[in-house]
Amino acid sequence: MKIVVIGGTGLIGSKTVAILRRAGHEVIAASPKSGVDTLTGAGLDEALNGAQVVVDLTNSPSFEDKAVLEFFQTSGRHLFAAEKAAGVRHHVALSIVGTDRSPDNGYFRAKVAQEQLVEASGVPYTIIRSTQFFEFLGGIAESGADGNVLRFSPGMFQPIAADDVATVVADIAASPARNGRVEIAGPERAPFNEIIARYLKAVGDAREVVCDPQARYFGGLVEQYSLVPLGDARLGAIGFDEWHRRSQASA
């Protein structure tokens, strides 16, 4: 089966491409570096020629509210026009758990708009909503820095390893379209502030983490369950300790 992974050279994309190739699929790792640009539409028709499945792992180069919304809307329109012309039978999109429960978060609003485009496209689809990745905990920690302390909500957080995300993405890409959503999360759920404190301790950062119910996460307040699955979810196999051990070994 020919599968085109848009964003196939990124964190999740490169892992997904490797899994699918090991399974025997013909996989195109598409990105601006390979001449495929969803924002302009360049290279899409050629890359999608003969493809049965498209996996969209694109991300905006800017996280500014207006820019990220325009990116997902423009990229989506170009992508679906090319998919329809190519007769693609399954569109897989990676989104975020709770993206529709944090209206003050501009990036989340843009992901909602992206999901709406997927649903209205007419192309059979599966939307995968994932919790945040362990690999991004460092940047997330810095986003809550207030002087020498870091302020985070006690709302629940359930990060997942990129390897587990890629495993699910590859599995769904090789399966029939669900025309619905699948949610995935890590195996461990705990208050946001506690997970950040655990991360800082693991990396030897002595800064204090303060539990602050009013602390914002990229502009949005974190309610108790706004960032975790509310119902059934596929859980990853890699917990924090195992992920940290692997990341140290690879470094």
Amino acid at 115: E
Q: What is the pLDDT along the chain (251 residues), one digit of tens a residue?
A: 999 999 999 999 999 999 999 999 999 999 999 999 999 999 999 999 999 999 999 998 888 889 999 999 999 999 999 999 999 999 999 999 999 988 888 899 999 999 999 999 999 999 999 999 999 999 999 999 998 999 999 999 999 999 999 999 999 999 999 999 999 999 999 999 999 999 999 999 999 999 999 999 988 889 999 999 998 999 999 999 999 999 999 87
Q: What separation in angstroms does the CA of 145 have from each of 65, 149, 169, 208?
A: 21, 6, 32, 10
CATH class of the domain comprising 2-250: alpha beta
Q: What is the pTM of this model?
A: 0.95
Q: Where are the domains of the chain?
A: 2-250
Spatial CA neighbour of 102 closest among 230, 195, 233, 219: 219
| Contact between 141 and 193 (Cβ < 8 Å) | no
H/E stretch holding 202 = helix 192-202
Measured distance CA(199)–CA(240) in Å, rounded = 8
